[in-house]
Amino acid sequence: MINKKINIAVIGLGQVGNYLLNELNTKKKDIELKTGKKIEIVAISAKNKNKKRRFKINKSIFFKNPIDIIENKKINILFEVIGHSDGISKKIVETALKNKIHVITPNKALIAKHGDYLSKLAEKNKVNLEFEASVAGGIPILRTIKEGLATNKLIRVYGILNGTCNYILSEMEKTKDSFKSVLKKAQSLGYAEPENPKLDLNGYDAFAKIRILSSLAFNKKISKKNCLMEGIENLEYKDIEIASQLNFRIKLLGITELINGKLFERVHPSLVKKDSYIGNVNGVMNAVIVEGKPIGESVLQGEGAGPGATSSALMSDLLSILRGNIKYPFGIPDIKRKKSLSYNEKVSSNSLYLRLEVKDKPGVLSEITKLLANNKISIERVIQIPDHKKKSASIIIITHRALEYRSQNLINSLKRNKNIIKKPVQIRLF
C-alpha cells in the first residue's frame, strides 16, 4: 500500500454499516494522525438506497450492485457489513480478496463457516482479512490472542459471548418476568432480532464465535464438528429463582479447551456461583476469560454488540491495515494450521441441575432416584416444591459429577417416565 490515499467501500448500511460510515467520515484526521494515511469513502452499497437512516448517506457514491464497485472503483479496503454466512456476503468477500482488496468484516457466520477458505485466499493475494468485530465487538479479544498474548500457550478460552441471551437472563432475574415477555422487551430495545431471534437464543451465534476463538487460540483450522450446543429457550423464571436460592446464576457460556490435545467446544446454559467473576457480568455485557501459560488468567469485559462497539472493532482493523500490520488472518500461515482432533464430549463430566415437573403422588421421587442410580449418577441435593393447586410438584436435583453419556441416557429415560409431566430441564454446573 504505497499510495497515500486509500479508497474505501462499505457494503451493507444497516445499523452497524451506517454507524461505521459516520465514524469513518468524522475520524479521518485522527486516522491520518495515527497512520499517516488519508482515507476516502468512494463507494457504498445496500439493499435499500432510500431507507431512513440515523446518519445521512452520500447517494452520489451509492451502487445498487456491490460487485460493480469492485469492478469499477479502485478500492483498497472493503467493509462487508451485510452478515450472511453465504450468498452475497461470501461472493463480495471472495471477489474482493481475489482482486487484492483488503477485507474487514464483523460477519461471524461467514468466518466460522468459510474462514479457512477465505483466509487462504487472502494470504494468496497478499491482502488482509480482518474480523475483530466478529467476536465480542467492544472487546479486542482476537487482537489480544494474536498479538498481546502471542507466545502464551493457551489452554482454555471461555465466556459470555451472546449479549442477547445475557440481557434476557439478567432481566428475568431482575424483573421476575417470563422468558417470552423479556424477549419481547429485548426486541423492542434492539437487543434481539425483531423477526428471527432464534440464532441468538439457541446458542448458534455463540458457537460461531467459539469456533473462531478456538482456531485462533490453538492455531488450528476451524472445527466443523457440532459438540454440545444448547440455548436458553427452555429456561423459565422458576429456574433462575431456584438457582438464586442455591447461590447460583444461570449464564449461557461458550467454552473451548484442549483436553489431551483434543478440542472440546461447547455452548450451553451453566450454573455459575453468584460471587464469581462471570456470575457478575450482567446485561448486554460480554466477557472472555483466557487461560494460558505463563499468563495465568486474563479477563476481558466490554459491550458485546451494538453499532458503537462493533464499529470500534471495525475501525481497529482498519488502523491495523493502514499501519501495515500482520497479514495472517489467523495469526500463523494457513498451511501451518492443522485440523484439530475432536474430543469425545460423551466422556466429559459435569454436575447437573435437573428440574422435573412431576405428578404429586406417592412413589414418584423413588422412581426418579432409581433412574439416577441405574445410570450411576449420584445425588448431592434434592429439593421438592409442591404445587397443591395443580396437584403437581417440582423436583430439583443437583447431582455429583456425571459422565455426559450417562446424563443423556438419564434424560432420555426421564422423558419416557409418565409421572414426569414436562420436558426435564437440565443445566450444567460450571
List contacts with a second copy (CB under 8 A).
19, 23, 27, 30-31, 33-34, 132, 138-140, 143-144, 147-152, 219, 275, 277, 280, 287, 293-303, 307-309, 311-313, 315-316, 318-320, 323-326, 328, 331-333, 336
Residue 404 beta carbon to a second copy: minimum distance, rounded to whole angstroms: 31
Residue 196 beta carbon to a second copy: minimum distance, rounded to whole angstroms: 26
Residue 124 beta carbon to a second copy: minimum distance, rounded to whole angstroms: 16
- Match 452478515 to its residue by C-alpha cell: 83
Closer Cβ to a second copy, 187 or 280, answer by number: 280
Closer Cβ to a second copy, 200 or 303, answer by number: 303
What are the C-alpha distances in Å from 303 to residues 36, 222, 312, 349? 29, 25, 11, 32
Closer Cβ to a second copy, 269 or 304, answer by number: 304
Q: What DSSP designation does 189 have?
A: T
Cell of 4: 497515500
Residue 303 beta carbon to a second copy: minimum distance, rounded to whole angstroms: 5
Closer Cβ to a second copy, 132 or 173, answer by number: 132
Residue 159 beta carbon to a second copy: minimum distance, rounded to whole angstroms: 12
Q: What angle do CA 97, 101, 104 make, to 5 degrees?
A: 85
Burial of 284 (0-12, 13-18, 19+ CB in 10 A): buried
| 3-state helix vs strand vs coil in the chain, percent to 5 | 40, 25, 35
Conformation bin of residue 260: beta by default, left when phi > 0, alpha when psi is -120 to 50: left
Closer Cβ to a second copy, 47 or 336, answer by number: 336
Residue 301 beta carbon to a second copy: minimum distance, rounded to whole angstroms: 4
Closer Cβ to a second copy, 151 or 196, answer by number: 151
Concatenate the DSSP letters of all residues of 29-51 into one string. HHHHHHHS-EEEEEEEE-S-SS-
Residue 320 beta carbon to a second copy: minimum distance, rounded to whole angstroms: 6
Cell of 108: 461471524
Computed on alpha carbons and rounded to an integer, the radius of gyration of the chain in Å comes to 24
Q: What is the helix (H) or strand (E) element at residue 396, kind and residue range?
A: strand 392-399
Active site residue 209: yes
- Decide the pairing of beta strands 102-104 and 129-130: parallel
Closer Cβ to a second copy, 141 or 240, answer by number: 141
- Match 464483523 to its residue by C-alpha cell: 106
Residue 158 beta carbon to a second copy: minimum distance, rounded to whole angstroms: 14
Of the residues 209, 220, 262, 418, which is catalytic? 209
Closer Cβ to a second copy, 262 or 336, answer by number: 336
What are the C-alpha distances in Å from 127 to residues 19, 37, 330? 25, 17, 13
Quick one: three-class SS letters along 240-259?
A: HHHHHHCCEEEEEEEEEEEE
What is the Cα–Cα distance from 154 to 150, expressed in whole angstroms?
A: 10
Cell of 280: 457478575
Question: What distance separates the 2 farthest-apart alpha carbons in the chain?
Answer: 82
Q: Which residues are catalytic?
A: 209
